[in-house]
Chains A and B, each alone.
Chain A
Amino acid sequence: MQYKSQAVAKPYFIAAIGLFVGQILFGLIIGMQYVVGDFLFPEIPFNVARMVHTNLLIVWLLFGFMGAAYYLVPEESERELVSPGLAILMFWVFLIAGALTVLGYLLVPYSGLAEMTGNSVLPTMGREFLEQPTITKAGIVVVALAFLYNVGLTILKGRKTVVSLVLLIGLAGLAVLFLFSFYNPDNLAKDKFYWWWVVHLWVEGVWELILGSILAFVLIKTTGVDREVIEKWLYVIIAMTLITGIIGTGHHYYWIGTPDYWQWWGSIFSALEPIPFFMMTVFAFNMVNRRRRNHPNKAAVLWALGTAVMAFLGAGVWGFLHTLAPVNYYTHGSQITAAHGHMAFYGAYVMIVLTMISYAMPMLRGRSAANSEASQVLEMWSFWLMTVSMVFITLFLTGAGILQTYLQRYSSDPLPFMVVQEKISLFYWMREVAGLMFLIGLVVYVASFFVGSRQPEATAVVEGSAA
């Protein structure tokens, strides 16, 4: 660790991992409710547990992004963070606001929560992913502003690199687009149209800038490849992201009361959205192959390559699968969507945060570059366990989705939703088993922080090929 203030990243990473565990436990609960319909009913209805699952996901990814920024920005800017104190204060504000919101979901009926928090004053609740009470949303804006002030000023006052600039554009975009969550007109077509300005323009727009910049940073550090080369790649990747992804929003405007021409705009541009993800994969493997040194943190390099591959599979391949309007007509809002949502979120955003944690945590815990061999071996086991489990979750949901689409929407004698769900329950059972395997992987991941802490650091092995 080169700058003292980078240390503020540590609590952010710890909170991220803690909430990740919570997210997966609730994932298993809703996975169970899919097959044992009355599981935990009426104490924890499906919608409540789902909300906890998805909101914890978003909150821990945001913790991860902020931690990544607090670690990366001082090093790129070659100066201390403007205000480490503010960063710690905002950590507690965000954690407490998040905990209170989740407790609110679990302890109070949702309509009661809406009433308690004065939703009628500025109604924003009750829309997917944006279920938080309006005051929680306002809190998120405050935290985001303080955070942007802190990293923004640090960047402005220090060395300006492409990596930190792209990160800042991504984070600022994240905050600005979130403001659309406060716009909730009675007109459902308009509500849905602008809802996607948060959801789509996040994951297929500004978050990809954050992803690209963190990936570039870790690759610069672990491969020693010339910064000029990496930064050129980064520019091209994010250029393709926004060139395809902005108009690509149209792939959500096929069937929600928007004009038919969106079927053309959305299909054509979103069909190009896999390009930046593909480039990211080529980029990561290229840089690792051209490495000037062997970094002792092999686990971090594995995560970096893994995120590039899995983001391409989940977002690029599984996204393309259902993005053309004639296909989406049948798959819209089916288990195909869930399959894609899982692998894309995992491959792109879960894995990039874990990449950064893997790279930075050893230094934050006083190592000079890497964890012990034993700890890394365990971490790499968790990588494979979680990643292979996610591949299976995706495959099982895809199987369920193909059958659902056929039986309920395509066959000449379409069956009711509930009948079809019954028929494909085997796939949901298998998803649940894969989910349990995922949990085991996560337990191994957490264990890797405690195993081998007292053993000496791993050192880079000199291979014949590299040199």
Chain B
Amino acid sequence: MSQAFTKAMARNIFYGGSVFFMLLFLALTFDTHTAWPQRDNHENLTEQVAHGKRLWEENNCIGCHTLLGEGAYFAPELGNAFKRLGGADGIKGFIASRPKDGIPGRRSMPQFNFSEDDLNAIAAFLKYVSEMNTASWPPNIQG
């Protein structure tokens, strides 16, 4: 790098640039908070949905599945599974019917032995996710 460009100048760009873009990022974050009510489907975020999210976390579903495209890539995307499986009954039926020892030769999902309440909560959570405004992602029903 040329001599005219000194270390002090480089340092100032680092501190100045970082602080400026941090502040810009905070401003955009603030704006995102004000925009959320129109798209995050919070009006349907019931106690039951919150319970479903806890079950989702405490059974590490994200370790096999993606949810809105984030997670693991081993098993189907579940952000729109509520629609793909045709509603709560499809979800509950699928989860409840997993064989304990898996399916020979096929990628397998564990049998979690959920209660009826838990199954309802998970279905409610996946319904809530499927109704968020995700800028029409995924591209089609297959996720």
Give the B-binding residues of A (Cβ under 8 A). Answer: 30, 33-34, 36-38, 41-42, 45-48, 50-51, 110-111, 114-115, 119-120, 123, 125-128, 131, 162, 184, 186-190, 192-193, 228-229, 231-233, 235-236, 238-239, 242-243, 246-247, 249-250, 252-260, 262-263, 265, 329-330, 332-335, 337-338, 408-410, 414-418, 421
Contact = CB atoms under 8 A, between A and B. Distances in A.
A51 B28 CA distance: 32
Residues of A contacting B: mostly: helix
Contacts of B68: 188, 192, 255-257, 333
A42 B110 CA distance: 7
Given A256-B68, A335-B73, A416-B76, 8 more contacts: A37-B105, A126-B61, A184-B57, A192-B70, A239-B18, A247-B24, A262-B28, A333-B66
A257 B134 contact: yes
A257 B104 CA distance: 38
Interface string B51-88: 00110111111111011111111111100000000000
Interface string B95-111: 00000111111111010
Interface of B: 1, 5-7, 10-11, 13-14, 17-18, 21-22, 24-25, 28-29, 31-32, 35-36, 39-42, 45, 49-50, 53-54, 56-64, 66-77, 100-108, 110, 112, 128-129, 132-135, 137-143
B14 A119 contact: no
Contacts of A415: 142
Contacts of A33: 74, 107
B137 A249 contact: no
Contacts of A414: 139-142
B49 A337 contact: no
Contacts of B100: 42
A108 to B, nearest CB: 12
A128 B72 contact: yes
Contacts of A335: 73
Nearest to A420: B142
A257 B60 CA distance: 22
Closest 4 CB pairs of A and B: A47-B63, A126-B57, A333-B69, A37-B107
Most buried by B among A30, A238, A332: A332
A248 B18 CA distance: 13
Contact of A417 (B31, B62, B135, B143): B143
B63 A329 contact: no
B42 A187 contact: yes
B60 A255 contact: no
B132 A127 contact: no
B58 A119 contact: yes
Contacts of B134: 255-257
